[in-house]
Structure 1
Amino acid sequence: MEAEAAEREAFAAYGQRLTAGEGGFFFFPIRHHSPACALHLTAALAEIGPRAIVLEMPADFAALLPLLSHPEIRLPIAIVSVADGERASDERLPVGYWPFSATSPEWAALRLAGERGCPVVFADQESGARLAAARQEKATEEGEEQASGEEATAPALLTDEGQLAYSCYAEGLVKRLGVRDFNEVWDRLFESRAAEKDWRGFFRDVGIHCALSRLATPVAAIAADDTLSREICMRAAMAKAALSPGEGPIAVVTGGFHTPALIDPPAEENRTEAGGPSLAAPAVRTKSYLIRYTHDHLDRINGYGAGMPSPHWYERLLGRVGEGHDDPFTEAAADVVLALAERLRRDRPNFMPPLPSLAATVAQARALADLRGLPGPGRAEIIDAARSCLVKGEDPRDQSPLIEVLLTELAGEGIGEVPRGAGAPPLVEAVRNRARALGFRIDDGTERNRLLDIHRKPRHLAASRFLHVMVLLGTGFGRCMRGPDWVGGTATDVLFEEWTYRWSPAVESRLVALSIDGDTVERAADAVLSRSVEALGQEGKARNALAAIRLLLIAGQAGLAGACGGLMAAIGPAVAADPDFGRVALCLSMLDNLRRGRKILGFAGMAGPDALRLAAYRRAIDLLPTLEGAREEDVPRYVEALATLNEIAEAGAAAGDGDERLDLDLLDEGISALLDGDLAPRAAGAVAAIAHMSGRVSAAALATCIIGPLQFGVGDPPARVEPLTGLLAVQPALLKRTPALLEGLDAVLAGFDEADFIAVLAPLRLAFTALAPDETDALAAVIADTKGSALDLAPRFSGGPSEAGMLANARLNATLAELMRADGLAAWLEEPAS
């Protein structure tokens, strides 16, 4: 008991020291984006009148201090730190954010310093050093593996305070108070005190809480990242601030986790500071800019231990406390409920609750606060009251649509504003102006839809190209949900594109990172396109025509056809050198897509694409002999390529006067040379089908080629069906149009006993999947007509057994029939005489 009492006294003494002016320093431990910290810090700084403020922010951000005092700034905003000069890989530009919200204690300190003319010393390591340390730490955690996707390119959050939010001490408090997470702990312990006047008592308790969090964190964990080296910089900044002229103390405003190491430096301070961190990564050279930030992103970063959730709620609370209301918490809660009602009335009228339920929500939130010993309802009380009073008849395990709207209202959808001339590079403003001119709404962070009539409306085509160029730039501004896919060759006849888009800090920071490439969208896109071409060579794909053509189509969609001369010049030699028939046929297919979409893609009137298409066509024909002796695993791909080549050749031979025609005779001669070759059965069937269409193989010979292996083959059932599979892959209509072939196939199948038919059924089904639904119906009608049967194609039932189930049932039926014959019941299996 005595030890516990002594420990409590020691912590109380520590808390008192923070604001006692010890050594001329006042220490203010904060949590980023905490309105209670911001309010109490404002009161404290106004009272003590510091001669300098030491602020936990990267030292290189000091150059932006004059811009941060600009009167036209509208929060939230952020400082973004971008690597300078690392252009080898667009997707790996290290970027760091320092967000400011209306509730940021740092923002309150900066504003007060500006009003009083008080110097501010930014005390943290430069952002480049922090980004390098974050990269090194991530590499250590992941070993040599490369991060992929969005996580690999996600900017670092320079306001990370995960050690405070996820410490063992924080977890213990969550369990002890019986709450859901650390955010609710913080609200109960500290945000509930936002309206109090005792700033000394507030920072005393925050400091003790943060000191306990640090004590509960293993020393090895603290030493594993850049915490210790950052604290060395903070102590150096304190020493620098102490030299400031004038009267008054020094205010030290840092994350609460660092405060114990600042007020009581470690014993080995001199040795550590003299030598510095022994394993520190080389700092990344950076430039910093002001960008717009959003409520949505402020809400999201809470999941990374870098802020507080529901920023719009805390802004409301800050405003109500600042107005001096007797019960600011209930006033702010009522504001939220009324705003929720307005939002539901506008967007989700089916979920609009009656007025008594809205009033009951505010009353219950107030009652919950009383029950929990709080001065007024907070975020958790509002959500709990809404679940109780507004959500009816829904499974509580599922997220209610109404609660989703409430969470959106608590988070907010606003976007900040950075005035022109406030440090943003010209590219950002150029893109914003272009977006506004094309009808995109970018004044908030809301995700919106846009339907574009790209073929008939020039402004819509310009908007489509803008969206595609933003995709090429890697901004994440828009995502195409529906529209023609010129790369894959699907839905190319669709007249509309449907997009979702949203302006976000990620968009702006990416544009800042690309600002070294130019001050217009076109110049930045040209630079990214050039780097993409260079990357093909660095990745060993310099002679990969497929990758180059894909990039050409992407550039065309982005409106960059005029900048693709060098890319087209590289494609021709790459196609000519490619030894793979399947890959060249795919190149031909993509170049044919480009020809059909040349107007939309911006290549109309350019001779280059037609010349490339013709070169790819001739190269594919030159590679036809490689079908002989092809590896077994390559045969399906080659047959598919042969089908593509045949389809494009037939269409190209019938092209109009304005198009470059393809010489079908070249294909016929190449196919003729393969007729006597050593081909795999599937390839032989495909070659025979094309040769029959050109008149080089008769119907009888075609039937022999296709049906012979099926009737007389001795191999596995799939191998016997392979020639038919090849025919259907390249010319599926032949079966319907060639009576000799259809009759011969029907006769062979009719001659199979049940066991043989079941054996070939699966490969037959696979072969016939090459037919489109209308082709299947047409073939079925022809077969029904030859059988003298009336065909009814109406569906008999929805759904049905799987293929495996049908085969199992057929085998079971055959087994049952054998058992019945063995029991002398064969007569039961005979069909009754009609």
Structure 2
Amino acid sequence: MPPGDSAHSARTTETRVFGIRHHGPGSARSLRLALEKYCPDAILIEGPADADPLAAFVAADGMEPPVALLGYHPDEPARAAMWPFAVFSPEWQALSYAAENGVRVGFCDLPAAVTLAMENEPGDRTDPLALLAEAGGYDDAERWWDAIVESTSDAEIFTAVNEAMAALREFAEHESDENPRAEAGSMDIAFASQRIVVDLHTLRREAYMRQVMRKVLKDGALRLAVVCGAWHAPALEGKLGPAAADARMLKGLPKGKATLTWVPWTHSRLASASGYGAGVTSPGWYHHLFTQTEQPIARWLTRVAGTLRANDLPVSSAHIIESVRLAETLAAMRERPMVGLSEVTEATRAVLCDGDETMLRLVTTELVVGEALGSVPEGTPTVPLEADLRAQLRSLRMKQEAQERTVDLDLRTDSGTAKSRLLHRLRLLGIDWGRLAQSQVRNTGTFRETWTLRWRPELAVAIVEAARWGTTLRTAAEAKVLDTVAYPDATVGTVATALESALLADLGGATNGLITRLESVAALDHDVTHLLAALPGLLRTLRYGDVRGTDTAALGRVADSLLLRGCAGLPSAVTGLDADSATELRALIDAVHLALSARDNEWATATWLSALTALADRADVHGTLVGRAVRLLCDAEIIDAAESARRLSAALSVGHSAADKAAWIDGFLGGRGLLLVHDRNLLGLIDSWLCGLPEDQFVATLPLLRRTFGAFDSGEKQSIAQAVRHGAPTPSARGTTEFDTERGALALRAVSEILGVA
């Protein structure tokens, strides 16, 4: 053996285990001090062991926490797991220390390939912090940890933390394969409120950690630092024992495949309220404590004041000074070494918010939790689809932000059109970064779009899932939109919606296939409601050519065919409908009428108005449909005001029930009361009918009438009320004193025949 090797073997090794709390700024500062004092030559961190190659990206340009390790199954991307890190996470500080000092670093927990292969990964059922807080006389584990650990920076704190955890684990029950749910044994009375259980999954994780520690020591590490959750520290300290026992513990673990990468994360997803098991209640506050070491309380309350001022709440410098004094006084009265979040919150509520809980919730959301979004370097391993997305974002100068932001896109510019196409492609792929603002949905196809953008960490998984459709956003969106209409039961509405989405996203490779599919589906679909539901979307797409530069000429033939078949089938579709079905069909008729008005095609308009005229003349159709047909024909100047009044008077005649009359009025007015503001004769007819209703009929029709008139604009309702108050005009003489002799002769003949039979 060479002399050097002999000397190396004679040197002793040392291992230090640092039991930390995930995402604790006090732990992070203390860990940094401890590592600088200990000077390890190797560091192991609790995290998926197969993520070791990604540790090299920690010091790369563009890496900005909060970030997370994302592990997913390459064949089933929906099976994914995240391991988040913030700048105040002790694990991140260990990674940073290793990168800055050239120290070997890796992860030691179960690999992501094993974790993802487990059908149900169990979590720890024991909360050690809650037990220690209870033993210390605290009713809140967060408050206890904040007072004991987070408010100080001490390199030696880990010895005390490890000893406390070791004391807890002396009373713990250990699960095994043979006895996965051991009965409670004797335990100290201080912890009687909760069973202390070390579950089988935790034991396997700790066995794997020890195996990795053995390997690192065997590879030549002399001063090994292990950074893990405090609960695991007692299992990793001291002699590691024989490896055979750990190998038996790990035998039979499921094995699978996993791909890992770094993805941006947010403070809100670090919060325990988001459902993250290792989350903290106040990531924004912890980030402030870690980054602002000089006068952190005064700086924090100054930020709070700035947030309140931005929301139009007057806050002066005197308020800030007084709130700092109050927070410090509360901490002194409670014998705490430093002002904590509870003292700061009470001072904010009392001084800065004047007791207003609404403003305090605003501070909690924007500052205490926060919404910071991290970033990852350009060279981070990723799927080709995400690489394409990053390239397009750089080209379009779009930035992913955690805060919700509204943007207006002018589709007459190349930049606006390109951004719109990108967002529509993302929506098709299920990557919901942006959504069309509600107020702009009705104006799709105009020169402007309004989007609300907000990037969420889980969209990283959505990108991976969408990667199976293609390597670029265009090809992936084309493949997915064609797949959505490929199944045999696809309806006309489904295909038409997919076609409209494809045109909005400029998916030329899918357009022809969708049009062909739409023609074949429409030829076999005889449901008039399906045909009418598909028409508005198709008619909107016919308007995109001028704005988006998309060839939509082939759609004209399909749209005209659907219109012709819809009009032909309308007479049978409106027969025998109940109130709910009639209301649904009325909405479809409204949508088609509006879309045809925007199209401005003489043949299509004439065809549609002819169908409405036939509907308005029928007496065997639900009143809401007949009333709506009369109103639309009146708006199109096919029926004049006098004819509208005559039809309304006939609908309100004695031969109809009160419910039928109310339905006709609902269809005729339909949420637009402007007609009654300008046509006082119609208003007089309705007013006279209402005033003449018996009490029982009025009560029966009141719900429908309230819905009808309640939908009017406030200005319309005021004008109508003023007209009625001043005396609505009585119906015209033609409607009350003139007689139709021809109709009267028909009635007399019918009465004579009835009497003759009698």
| TM value normalised by structure 2 | 0.74
Q: Give the direction of change, closer, same or farther, for the CA distance of 1:586–1:260 in structure 2 (3 Å limit).
A: same
1:527 corresponds to which residue? 476
SS in 2 for 1:451: strand
SS in 2 for 1:711: coil
Q: Give the direction of change, closer, same or farther, for the CA distance of 1:621–1:476 in structure 2 (3 Å limit).
A: closer
SS in 2 for 1:304: coil
Offset at 1:668? 3.7
Measure the CA separation in 2 of the matches of 1:499 and 1:231.
48
- What CA deviation, in whole Å up to 9, does each residue of 1:654-709 have, x standing for no partner? 627xxxx427358747976997897567667778999999999xx99996998379
Structure 2 gap ranges (5+): 1-11, 183-194, 734-758
Q: Give the direction of change, closer, same or farther, for the CA distance of 1:723–1:344 in structure 2 (3 Å limit).
A: closer
- What CA deviation, in whole Å up to 9, does each residue of 1:89-143 have, x standing for no partner? xxxx23322222223222333344456655445222222432454x6369xxxxx
Measure the CA separation in 2 of the matches of 1:690 and 1:339.
57
Measure the CA separation in 2 of the matches of 1:318 and 1:98.
20
Counterpart amino acid of residue 552 in structure 2: M
SS in 2 for 1:75: coil
SS in 1 for 2:355: coil
- What CA deviation, in whole Å up to 9, does each residue of 1:36-72 have, x standing for no partner? 3334434444555555433221122112133234366
SS in 1 for 2:46: strand
- 2:109 paired residue among 111, 115, 124: 124
- 1:285 paired residue among 257, 273, 276: 257
Q: Give the direction of change, closer, same or farther, for the CA distance of 1:49–1:607 in structure 2 (3 Å limit).
A: same
Tell which deviates more after alignment, 525-534 or 259-268.
Answer: 259-268
The answer on whether the counterparts of 1:478 and 1:499 sit within 8 Å (CA) in structure 2 is yes
Aligned residues with identical type, % of pairs: 24
Q: Give the direction of change, closer, same or farther, for the CA distance of 1:341–1:129 in structure 2 (3 Å limit).
A: same
- What CA deviation, in whole Å up to 9, does each residue of 1:579-599 have, x standing for no partner? 321221111122223334554
- 1:620 paired residue among 554, 560, 566: 566
Q: Give the direction of change, closer, same or farther, for the CA distance of 1:705–1:335 in structure 2 (3 Å limit).
A: closer
2:92 corresponds to which residue? 107
The answer on whether the counterparts of 2:42 and 2:104 sit within 8 Å (CA) in structure 1 is yes
1:774-789 pair list within 5 angstroms = 784=728, 787=731
Q: Give the direction of change, closer, same or farther, for the CA distance of 1:701–1:198 in structure 2 (3 Å limit).
A: closer
Counterpart amino acid of residue 159 in structure 2: G
1:821 corresponds to which residue? none
SS in 1 for 2:55: helix
- 1:27 paired residue among 12, 17, 24: 17
1:500 corresponds to which residue? 452
- What CA deviation, in whole Å up to 9, does each residue of 1:173-217 have, x standing for no partner? 69x325xx42221111212331x3434534435534764896699
Measure the CA separation in 2 of the matches of 1:751 and 1:380.
63
SS in 2 for 1:463: helix
2:340 corresponds to which residue? 378
Counterpart amino acid of residue 296 in structure 2: A
SS in 2 for 1:73: coil
Measure the CA separation in 2 of the matches of 1:581 and 1:31.
63
Counterpart amino acid of residue 276 in structure 2: Y
Measure the CA separation in 1 of the matches of 2:512 and 2:60.
45
1:662 correspondence with 2:593: no
Q: Give the direction of change, closer, same or farther, for the CA distance of 1:271–1:650 in structure 2 (3 Å limit).
A: same
1:448 correspondence with 2:405: yes
- 1:580 paired residue among 506, 511, 527: 527
- 2:159 paired residue among 201, 204, 209: 201
1:333 corresponds to which residue? 297
1:712-731 pair list within 5 angstroms = 712-713=655-656, 717-719=658-660
1:324 corresponds to which residue? none
Counterpart amino acid of residue 315 in structure 2: M
The answer on whether the counterparts of 1:170 and 1:213 sit within 8 Å (CA) in structure 2 is no
1:474 corresponds to which residue? 430
Offset at 1:258? 2.6
SS in 2 for 1:258: helix
Offset at 1:620? 0.9
Structure 1 gap ranges (5+): 1-21, 88-92, 139-159, 321-327, 790-834
2:142 corresponds to which residue? 183
Counterpart amino acid of residue 405 in structure 2: R
Offset at 1:306? 1.8
SS in 1 for 2:120: helix
- 2:211 paired residue among 214, 236, 255: 236
Measure the CA separation in 1 of the matches of 2:683 and 2:156.
98
Counterpart amino acid of residue 251 in structure 1: A
Q: Give the direction of change, closer, same or farther, for the CA distance of 1:650–1:664 in structure 2 (3 Å limit).
A: farther
2:654 corresponds to which residue? 711
The answer on whether the counterparts of 2:652 and 2:689 sit within 8 Å (CA) in structure 1 is no
- 1:136 paired residue among 115, 120, 143: 120
Q: Give the direction of change, closer, same or farther, for the CA distance of 1:763–1:400 in structure 2 (3 Å limit).
A: closer
1:548 corresponds to which residue? 495
The answer on whether the counterparts of 1:38 and 1:103 sit within 8 Å (CA) in structure 2 is yes
SS in 2 for 1:400: helix
Offset at 1:546? 1.1
Measure the CA separation in 2 of the matches of 1:363 and 1:730.
58
| TM value normalised by structure 1 | 0.68
The answer on whether the counterparts of 1:173 and 1:185 sit within 8 Å (CA) in structure 2 is no
Measure the CA separation in 2 of the matches of 1:779 and 1:664.
37
- What CA deviation, in whole Å up to 9, does each residue of 1:319-360 have, x standing for no partner? 57xxxxxxx6x7333443455556666x35743322x44344
Offset at 1:566? 2.0
Q: Give the direction of change, closer, same or farther, for the CA distance of 1:198–1:447 in structure 2 (3 Å limit).
A: same
Measure the CA separation in 2 of the matches of 1:131 and 1:265.
31
- What CA deviation, in whole Å up to 9, does each residue of 1:452-505 have, x standing for no partner? 4x35554334334433334334334334334432xxxx3559765444334453
1:143 corresponds to which residue? none
Superposed CA RMSD in Å reads 5.2
